[in-house]
């Protein structure tokens, strides 16, 4: 396994594996026994960075979520797992009532909602301190300062280690970090966004915004992360596009219906053949070893799926292969 540091403050920064494991479907579509087997294999391979959320996976159960956190908490207790494994969770997108959703009825990012959500996550995960806490989605009804101060207060009291943000416009992330910096408070140091080798259109209306999806990595966000260097870490969710690179029954979405997609797919397949690797492994290796380093966040419904992703950590693309992948438009 390879590792990198997230966070700039020596008091809170952590060293984590360059491949993160997503636990979104643990406890719902992935049963507890299988979830434990995947987690055990990940840790045995040197993995140290597990991701969940307080709303996972409400859409499969009609609940408010929490099933994934519950499985992770029971696994941690059964295996005696402590601080050596960094567990990241998120808040803000759990529906306020069963049968509703994060679009029409989210818990949000008010100070009170944040406090309640953190207490629930700590109880389900079986810990007094959350290693990394993300603001999951934007809350336009709450002033940024209220959210920033509430997150910073959790760090100050020791309830949270690192702070992160997901699915926010880049300008709003910068504004929130500016508020924290000017006040001498801890701010967001980890970003989690959807990112992969194929380039999506960013102009299509999304659930939460007519301007497109706040959750996609684009040139603005990459430029921001590059400029910030070690002050910001980027975690990429859905790097393998839910199997769409390799499965005919998982078609690419409308955002990939543009002339650049076939050319990049062709380049990807050529490099995979040369490297003796799978297309998925090349995608992950491309992300891990890029000029802007990215931590891919992979899901797995079986140990075999996880093993394919783990093998990508040791896949070294040649300079020529990377240049061809990068040059394809």
**Separation of alpha carbons 226 and 217, rounded Å:** 13
Asked if residues 273 and 303 have their Cβ atoms less than 8 Å apart, the reply is no
Residues pairing with 294 in the sheet: 234
pLDDT of residue 205: 81
Nearest C-alpha neighbor of 7 from the set 281, 231, 241: 231
pLDDT of residue 131: 97
Q: What is the pLDDT of residues 173-190, one digit of tens each?
A: 999 999 999 999 999 999
Low-confidence stretches of the chain (pLDDT < 50) are: none
Asked if residues 65 and 57 have their Cβ atoms less than 8 Å apart, the reply is yes
pLDDT of residue 308: 97
| Domain boundaries of the chain, sorted by first residue | 3-251+280-317
pLDDT of residue 71: 98
Q: What is the pLDDT of residues 189-206, one digit of tens each?
A: 999 999 999 999 888 887
CATH tag for 3-251+280-317 (out of 3.40.50.10540, 3.20.20.100, 1.10.490.10, 3.30.2390.10): 3.20.20.100
Tell if the pTM clears 0.85, that is, is over it.
yes
Tell me the Cα Rg of the chain: 19
Nearest C-alpha neighbor of 276 from the set 319, 231, 316, 218: 316
Residues pairing with 6 in the sheet: 14
pLDDT of residue 258: 92
The single residue listed with the structure tokens 């969770």 is 89
pLDDT of residue 11: 84
Residue 315 is classified by DSSP as -
**Separation of alpha carbons 321 and 275, rounded Å:** 9
pLDDT of residue 329: 79
Nearest C-alpha neighbor of 294 from the set 255, 237, 243: 237
């Amino acid at each position: 396994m390879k590792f990198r540091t997230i966070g700039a403050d020596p008091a809170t920064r952590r060293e984590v594996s360059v491949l993160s494991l997503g636990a979104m479907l643990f406890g719902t579509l992935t049963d507890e026994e299988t979830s434990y087997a995947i987690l055990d294999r990940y840790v045995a391979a040197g993995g140290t960075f597990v991701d969940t959320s307080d709303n996972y996976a409400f859409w499969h159960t009609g609940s408010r979520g929490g099933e994934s956190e519950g499985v992770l908490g029971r696994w941690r207790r059964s295996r005696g797992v402590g601080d050596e494994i960094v567990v990241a969770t998120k808040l803000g997108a759990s529906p306020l009532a069963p049968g509703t959703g994060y679009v029409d009825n989210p818990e949000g990012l008010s100070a009170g909602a944040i406090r309640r959500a953190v207490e629930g996550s700590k109880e389900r995960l079986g810990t007094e301190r959350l290693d990394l806490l993300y603001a999951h989605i934007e809350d336009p009804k709450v002033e940024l300062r209220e959210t920033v101060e509430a997150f910073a207060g959790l760090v100050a009291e020791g309830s949270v280690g690192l702070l992160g943000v997901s699915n926010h416009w880049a300008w709003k992330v910068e504004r929130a970090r500016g508020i924290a910096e000017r006040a001498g408070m801890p701010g967001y140091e980890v970003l989690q966004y959807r990112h992969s080798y194929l380039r999506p259109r960013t102009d299509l209306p999304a659930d939460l915004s007519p301007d497109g999806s706040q959750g996609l990595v684009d040139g603005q966000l990459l430029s921001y992360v590059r400029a910030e260097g070690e002050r910001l870490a980027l975690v990429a969710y859905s790097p393998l596009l839910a199997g769409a690179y390799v499965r005919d029954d998982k078609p690419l979405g409308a955002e990939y219906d543009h002339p650049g997609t076939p050319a990049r797919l062709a380049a990807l397949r050529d490099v995979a053949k040369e490297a003796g690797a799978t297309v998925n492994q090349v995608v992950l290796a491309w992300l891990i070893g890029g000029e802007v380093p990215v931590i891919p966040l992979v899901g797995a419904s079986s140990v075999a799926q996880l093993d394919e992703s783990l093998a990508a950590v040791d896949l070294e693309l040649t300079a020529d292969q990377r240049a061809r992948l990068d040059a394809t438009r």
